[in-house]
Amino acid sequence: MTARWRAAALVLPLLIYTVVTFLVPLTTMLVRSFYDPVVAEVLPGVLAALDDWNGSGDPPEPAWEAAATDLRAAAEAGTVGRVASRVGRVDPDLRTVLPGTAFALAEGGLRPARGQTWHDVMVSVDSAWASPDTWRGIKEGGRRFTSRHYLNAVDLTRGPDGSVAARPEDRRIYLPLFWRTLQVSLAVTLLCLVLGYPVAHLIAHASPRKRGILLALVLVPFWTSLLARTTSWIVLLQNQGVINDLLVATGLVADDGRLALVYNMAGTLIAMAHVLLPFMVLSLYSVMNSISPQYMRAAASLGARPWHAFRKVYWPQSLPGVGAGCLMVFILAIGYYITPALVGGSSGQLISNMVAYHMQQSLNWGLAAALGVLMLGGVMLLYVLYDRLTGGRVGIR
Amino acid sequence: MSAVGRGTRVQAGFCTLVFVFLIAPILVIVPLSFNAEPYFTFTEGMLRLDPEAWSLRWYREVAGSEDWKRGLANSALVGICATAIATVLGTLAAIGLSNPAMPARRFVTGLLISPMVTPVIITAAGMYFFYTAAGLSRTHLGLILAHAVLGMPFVIITVTAALTGYDRNLTRAASGLGAGPVHGFLRVQLPLIAPGVMSGALFAFATSFDEVVVVLFMGGPAQKTVPREMWSGIREQISPAILAVATFLILLAGLLLLTVAWLRRRSVQASRGWRGGESRG
C-alpha cells in the first residue's frame, strides 16, 4: 500500500460521511430552486396537451378532457393540494380553482351530457376555465425546470408574453433585503475591525502573563453559548432593562424617553458585533503575534513619529490578519440567523430569516432554495478568497 | 516620548472599554439570575443587598421542570454521540490530510471544512428535506448525524494543528521496532496528539451543545435540547428561569475554556519534551 493510498484511506470515511450527511442534503435542497417535478407528475395529460398551445385563445380540445381526467385523479390520490399550492404561486386564483374543480369532478362524477364537450363541463364547474390565464398558469407552473424562483428572488417578474421586468419599487422584497444584509455585514465587519484591532495589538505585544489573561477575556464570550449571550443582550437592552435603567438613574435619559435598543436594527448590530468580535481579534492576533517589535523600534530610531511608523511599518505587516479577520467576520455575518431572529424585531431581519420564513411558514421551498443558492454562492466566493489569503491554513481558533 | 505615552494610554483606555463590552453582558446575567422577583433588571432590594431580594427561586424552577430536564438529557445524549463520531472520523481524516502524499489535499480539506462556513440556515433546510425522506427527522439519530458533521471541522483544525508539531520519524521508528500500524498509532502517535484531539472533541461538543437551528428544523417534541428550550423561552414567554440556565451555560463555557487552555499547555509541553529528547540524543 503506497503512502498516497494510505492517506486517502484515512480521509475516505469522513469524506463519505460528509458527502452523505451534508453535501447531498445541501445539493438536493438547492436543486429545488430550479427543478420541481410535482406538478408535471400529477397533471401529465394536461401539460402534454398544452405543449403546442401558444398561450392565447382557447387551449386545444384534448386539453379539456385531460384536465378533467388529471384533476379527478389528483383529487382521488390526494395530491391536488400540493399542485394547487405550487401553481397558485404563479396565479393566486388557481389556489382555489384547481381543488374546487377537482373535487367537483371526483364527487359529482361529472361527464359531458349528449351534445356537450368537456369544455362545457369544465366551464360549468368553474367559469375560470374559460379564461386562457388559467391554462397559462398551469402551463407555467407545470414546468419541471424553471427560472421562476430566481427571478422572484431578485424581484423580477415574467409577464404573460415571457418578457422579464423589475417589480415596482414599492413591491420589491428581496433586493432591499440582500442590500440590507450586505450593509449590516459590512457595518459589523468594520465595527469589529475598529474595536478589535487595538485589542489584538495590545494582546500581541503584552507580556506573556498578561497575554494569557487578556486572551481569556476574548475567549470567554467565544465559548459562551450564543443563546445565553443573546439572552443577556435582551435583558440588558430592553426597555425596562439594565442599560435603560442606568441611563434613567443617571439622568441622561428621561423615564418616558427610554431608548429602543433591542428588537430593531440596533439590537441586531450590537449583538452581532459582540458575537463576531472574538473572531476578528483572534485572526488579527495570530498575525500580529509574529510581527517583531524591532521593526517599530527601528522606525522610531530612524526618526519616524509613532503614527507615521505605524502607518508605514506596522499596518502593512498586519494586513493579512486584517484581510482574514474581515473576510471571516463578513462570511459569518452574511449567514446570520439566530441573532436577528431573536433580537432583530421586524426591521433587523436579514436574508437568512427570509429563507427560514419560506421554509417554515410560506412553504415556498423553491424560493427559499433560490435565496439560499444566491447567499451560498456569495459565501463560497469569499471562502475561496479567504482560503487563498490564509494559504489553506484554516485555523483561527 | 510623551506622544507615545499618550498613545498607549488612549489604547489601554479604549481596550478596557472593548473588554467591558465583551465581558460585562455575560457577567451581568449571573447576579440577575438570583432575582427574587420576575424582573430582568436589578431591583432596589438587590442593590441594597437585601437578602430578601435575592433567591434561588429560578434555579429551583429549572431543577423542577420536566422540560429542562429532558432538554439537558437530549443535549447530553446528542452532544456526546455526535462528538464521538466527529472525533473518531475527524482525527483519522486529519492524519491523512496532514500527509503530504494525500491526493487533492487542499480541495478535500476545503470540502471537509465547508460545514463550518455554510450559513447554518441553508444546512438546516437541506438536512430537513433529506433526513425527512430518509426517515431520520424527528429522531435522535438524525440529530446526532447532523451535529457530528457540524462539529467535525473543528476536530480537523485542532488535530491538524497538533500534527504539525508531530515528528513523522516516530511512526517510522515504531514500525521499525515491529509495531503494526494500529499498535504504533495507538501507542506512539495518539498519545502525542491527544491534547489536540481532546480540544477538537470539546469544540465539537460545544458546537452541538449550542446548536439550535438544525434542532428547530429537524427535531420533534421528543428531541428538544437545552438551546431549543431557550429559543422558545426567549421567543414566547421570557422568564427569569432562562437566566438561571444561561448562568449554567456560562459556567460550562468557563469549564470548557479552562480545559482547552490546560490541554494546549500540555501539548506545548509534549512537543517541547520531544524536541528536548532529540537534542539530548
- Are residues A301 and A353 located together in one domain of the fold? yes
Mean pLDDT of the residues in chain A:
89
Divide the 281 residues of chain B into consecutive groups of 10 and give the mean pLDDT of each group: 70 94 92 86 82 88 91 96 97 91 89 92 93 93 96 93 82 84 83 89 94 93 93 83 92 90 76 44 30
Write out residues 223-242 of B within 8 Å (CB-CB) of A: 227, 230-231, 234-235, 238, 242
- Are residues A194 and A103 located together in one domain of the fold? no
ipTM above 0.90, yes or no: no
- Are residues A116 and A185 located together in one domain of the fold? no
Q: What is the pLDDT of residue B275?
A: 44
- Are residues A345 and A292 located together in one domain of the fold? yes
In a domain, A20, yes or no: no
Average pLDDT (A212-239) is: 90
Q: What is the pLDDT of residue A292?
A: 87
Average pLDDT (A265-277) is: 92
- Are residues A364 and A236 located together in one domain of the fold? yes
User: Where do the CATH 1.10.3720.10 domains begin and end in chain B?
Assistant: 65-271
- Do residues B206 and A223 touch, judged by C-beta distance below 8 A? yes
Does position A111 have pLDDT exceeding 90, yes or no? no
CB contact under 8 A, B250 and A225: yes
Identify the CATH number of the domain in which residue A252 sits: 1.10.3720.10
Q: What is the pLDDT of residue B278?
A: 38
- B131 contacts chain A (CB < 8 A): yes
Q: Domain of residue A196: give its range.
A: 174-389
- Are residues A103 and A227 located together in one domain of the fold? no
- Are residues A371 and A260 located together in one domain of the fold? yes
Q: Does residue A260 sit in helix, strand or coil? A: coil
Cell of A55: 398561450
In a domain, A199, yes or no: yes
**Residue A313 DSSP label:** I
- Are residues A198 and A292 located together in one domain of the fold? yes
Domain end residue (candidates: A102, A125, A142): A142
Q: What is the pLDDT of residue B87?
A: 97
- Are residues A221 and A306 located together in one domain of the fold? yes
**Residue A164 DSSP label:** E
In a domain, A274, yes or no: yes
Considering only A17-21, A221-225, A266-270, B36-40, which range has the smallest mean pLDDT? Answer: B36-40
Q: What is the pLDDT of residue B207?
A: 94
Question: Residue A1 — pLDDT band, cuts 50, 70, 90?
Answer: low
- A314 contacts chain B (CB < 8 A): no
The CA distance from A16 to A18, in Å, is 5
CB contact under 8 A, B108 and A383: no
Q: Does residue A209 sit in helix, strand or coil? A: helix
The CA distance from B83 to B148, in Å, is 6
- Are residues A138 and A178 located together in one domain of the fold? no
Q: Smallest Cβ distance to B23: which of A212, A217, A227?
A: A217
Average pLDDT (A286-297) is: 88
pLDDT digits (tens, 9 = 90+) for A38-71: 899 999 999 998 888 888 888 888 888 899 889 9
Domain end residue (candidates: A119, A142, A165): A142
Stated pTM of the model? 0.88
pLDDT digits (tens, 9 = 90+) for A17-40: 999 999 999 999 889 999 989 899
- Are residues A258 and A353 located together in one domain of the fold? yes
Counting residues of chain A whose pLDDT is more than 70, the rounded percentage is 97
Q: Does residue A158 sit in helix, strand or coil? A: strand
- B63 contacts chain A (CB < 8 A): no
In a domain, A219, yes or no: yes
CB contact under 8 A, B103 and A8: yes
Q: Smallest Cβ distance to A242: which of B41, B212, B217?
A: B41
Q: What is the pLDDT of residue B1?
A: 45
What's domain B65-271's superfamily in CATH? MetI-like (1.10.3720.10)
Instruction: Kindly write down the DSSP assignment for every residue of chain B, as one continuous string.
Output: -HHHHHHHHHHHHHHHHHHHHHHHHHHHHHHHTTBSSS-SS--HHHHTT-GGGB-SHHHHHHHT-HHHHHHHHHHHHHHHHHHHHHHHHHHHHHHHHTSTT-TTHHHHHHHHHHHHHS-HHHHHHHHHHHHHHTT-TTSHHHHHHHHHHHHHHHHHHHHHHHHHT--THHHHHHHHTT--HHHHIIIIIHHHHHHHHHHHHHHHHHHHHT--HHHHHH--GGG--HHHHHHHHHHT---THHHHHHHHHHHHHHHHHHHHHHHHHHHHHHHHHHHHHHHH-
Average pLDDT (A164-177) is: 89
Counting residues of chain A whose pLDDT is more than 90, the rounded percentage is 40
- Are residues A124 and A255 located together in one domain of the fold? no
- Do residues A331 and A386 touch, judged by C-beta distance below 8 A? yes
- B198 contacts chain A (CB < 8 A): no
Q: What is the pLDDT of residue A160?
A: 66
